[in-house]
């Protein structure tokens, strides 16, 4: 109990000043036989209390590995080789496994794309939920059951008393994801990393889950990292957005600004290729080529082989720099045509990293 109190007091002190999570220059590399794969190579972002950050990228961009790194779930041959993950000022990358386990599932939780990754198919839902409660708090089994029931109700599962006695296979896909979210919420975490949690769900079910998530973040002040490839979901849900390409954040900023005036050519191309942004029946604007292998990235900007704006100086590494107030991008030749005057000066300053 005393530990919980200490946690609460330190929590209160920390929230006043710092953001819930600050990731600084995170590098997670995989040491494979074929070479070093720099899955995450210098990723930085912050998430404040009650805010939702959309971490967007295509497959292989390193968005999931970023999420796993925060939770300390990266397995060999992968390893965090550099950077800091500051959770209320505490560097998670340096924590011992036992200390990390105190946080994981308690103050930091994760929701996976496939709820069956969270749920054990041979245990009833109540067993799994009570176990999670008891792992971090000293309460009686009855109290734990009570908390499990309340949380199931909170995520919109009808008749939670009966559903507690069911096995995961007796739930539909949407309901299963709700159970997984309920388990993540059991300890009222301060940070949730959600890895494509609605990708496998139908549109109407997805909307239901997004509604629940939005409500919870607003009510409990939980910070959320929403990892997804779907820009449209992020548009409606997130406050900030970080776009990843080949292991790096190429653009960061407030959702409305990034989506309305993307600076980086990759973000620009990505938004352009969404069908609803194109005129019906006309050719979609496409990004040529495909994501390069992380084993053989071109030197300099990783996007330059597919980039319509690439020039010779792109062979140098652009730094993530503030091109407009509150807008960061990693590019020498960003899209600033219509409102260029404010930016021109800082673009050229983008120094090689």
Partner 1 sequence: MSTTSTVRSAASVAAGEAAAPIIELRNVSKRFSKKLDFAGKIAQKLGAPVKDETVHAVDGVDLVVRKGEVVGLVGESGCGKSTLGRMVAGIMPASGGEIFWHGRPLNSLSGAEARHAKLQTQMIFQDPYASLNPRMRVADIVGEAPLVHGLTRRAEWDAYVDNQMRRAGLDPAFKRRYPHQFSGGQRQRIGIARALAVQPEFIVCDEAVAALDVSIQAQILNLFMELRQELNLTYLFISHDLGVVEHLSDRVVIMYLGRVVEEAPAEEIFARANHPYTQALLAEVPRIEARKKSFAGIKGEIPSPLAPPPGCHFHPRCPHAFDRCRVERPALKEIAPGHKSACHLNDKVA
Report the interface residues with partner 1, using CB under 8 A: 58-59, 172-175, 202-208, 210-211, 214, 229-233, 235-237, 239, 255-256, 259, 269-271, 273-278, 280-281, 283-287, 290-291
Between 277 and 339, whose beta carbon lies closer to partner 1? 277
Distances (CA, A) of 158 to 148, 154, 180: 13, 10, 15
Q: Cβ(255)–Cβ(236) under 8 Å? A: no
Residue 185 buriedness (CB in 10 A; 0-12 / 13-18 / 19+): buried
Decide: 151 and 235 in contact? Cβ < 8 Å.
Answer: no
Least distance CB 324 / partner 1 (angstroms): 18
Q: Determine how many CB atoms are found less than 10 A away from the CB of residue 211.
A: 12
- Taking residue 142's Cβ as centre, other Cβ atoms within 10 Å add up to 9
| Burial degree of 238 (CB within 10 A; 0-12, 13-18, 19+) | buried
Q: How far is the CB of 23 from partner 1 (least distance, A)?
A: 23
Shortest distance in whole angstroms from residue 309 CB to partner 1: 16
Q: Which is nearer to partner 1, 141 or 215 (CB)?
A: 215
Sequence-distant (6+) residues with CB within 8 A of 271 are 231, 259, 262, 277
Residue among 236 and 352 whose Cβ is closer to partner 1: 236
> Shortest approach of partner 1 to residue 83 CB, angstroms?
26
Is the Cβ of residue 103 or residue 243 nearer to partner 1 in the bound state?
243
CB atoms inside a 10 Å sphere around CB 180 = 26
Between 138 and 280, whose beta carbon lies closer to partner 1?
280
- Nearest residue (CB) to partner 1, 122 versus 290: 290
- Reduced 3-state DSSP string for 251-283: EEEEHHHHHHCCCCHHHHHHHHCCHHHCCCCCC
Q: Which is nearer to partner 1, 80 or 231 (CB)?
A: 231
C-beta of 209: minimal distance to partner 1 in Å? 8
Nearest approach in angstroms of CB 240 to partner 1 is 12
- In whole angstroms, how far apart are CA 168 and each of 8, 69, 163, 175? 33, 27, 10, 9
| Residue at token pair 């010779």 | 312
Q: How far is the CB of 326 from partner 1 (least distance, A)?
A: 16
């Amino acid at each position: 109990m005393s530990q919980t109190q200490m946690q609460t007091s330190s929590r209160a002190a920390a929230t006043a000043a710092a953001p819930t999570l600050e990731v600084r220059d995170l590098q997670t590399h995989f040491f494979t036989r074929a070479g070093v794969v720099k899955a995450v190579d210098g990723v930085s972002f912050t998430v404040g209390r009650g805010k939702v950050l959309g971490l967007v990228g295509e497959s292989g961009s390193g968005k999931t590995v970023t999420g796993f790194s925060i939770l300390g779930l990266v397995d060999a041959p992968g390893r965090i080789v550099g950077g800091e993950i500051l959770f209320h000022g505490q560097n998670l990358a340096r924590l011992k496994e036992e200390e990390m386990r105190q946080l994981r599932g308690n103050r930091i939780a994760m929701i996976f794309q496939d709820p069956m990754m969270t749920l054990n198919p041979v245990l009833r839902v109540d067993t799994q939920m009570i176990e999670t409660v008891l792992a971090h708090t000293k309460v009686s089994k009855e109290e734990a059951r009570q908390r499990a029931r309340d949380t199931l109700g909170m995520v919109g599962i009808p008749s939670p008393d009966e559903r507690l006695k069911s096995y995961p296979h007796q739930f539909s896909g949407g309901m299963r994801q709700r159970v997984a979210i309920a388990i993540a919420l059991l300890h009222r975490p301060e940070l949730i990393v959600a890895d494509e949690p609605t990708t496998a769900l139908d549109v109407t079910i997805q909307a239901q889950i997004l509604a629940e998530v939005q409500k919870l973040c607003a009510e409990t002040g939980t910070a959320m990292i929403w990892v997804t490839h779907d820009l449209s979901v992020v548009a409606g849900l997130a406050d900030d957005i970080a776009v990843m390409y080949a292991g790096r954040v190429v653009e960061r900023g407030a959702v409305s600004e990034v989506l309305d005036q993307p600076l980086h050519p990759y973000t620009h191309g990505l938004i352009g290729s969404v069908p609803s942004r194109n005129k019906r029946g006309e050719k979609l604007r496409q990004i040529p080529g495909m994501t390069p292998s992380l084993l053989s990235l071109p030197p300099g900007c990783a996007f330059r082989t597919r980039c319509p704006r690439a020039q010779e100086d792109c062979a140098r590494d652009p730094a993530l720099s503030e091109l407009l107030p509150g807008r960061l991008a990693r590019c020498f030749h960003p899209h600033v045509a219509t409102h260029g005057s404010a930016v021109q000066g800082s673009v050229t300053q983008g120094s090689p990293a």
